[in-house]
Amino acid sequence: MLAFLAVLLVIWVVLAVVGFVVKGLFWLAIVALVLLVATAAYGWIKRKAAGRV
């Protein structure tokens, strides 16, 4: 599961960089950054919850 989340984080970072590089795709960068934060938060919460079990 953590490997899957890591892959998602890498994808979101790549999309964010592409969005900032290509000026016309600025919206892509915004979406990628939002998804990056959401995925990181989800992974952090799941990891923290797994440690309490």
CA 7 to CA 11: how far, in whole Å? 6
- The better pLDDT of the pair 45, 29 is held by 45
pLDDT of 33 > 70? The answer is yes
Confidence of residue 52 (pLDDT cuts 50, 70, 90): low
Number of structural domains (the chain) is: 1
Confidence of residue 53 (pLDDT cuts 50, 70, 90): low
> DSSP per residue over 8-28, as a string?
HHHHHHHHHHHHHHSGGGHHH
Q: Are 16 and 27 in contact (CB under 8 A)?
A: no
Average pLDDT (32-42) is 88
The residue segments making up the domain with residue 39 are 2-52
CA 47 to CA 1: how far, in whole Å? 10
Average pLDDT (11-40) is 82
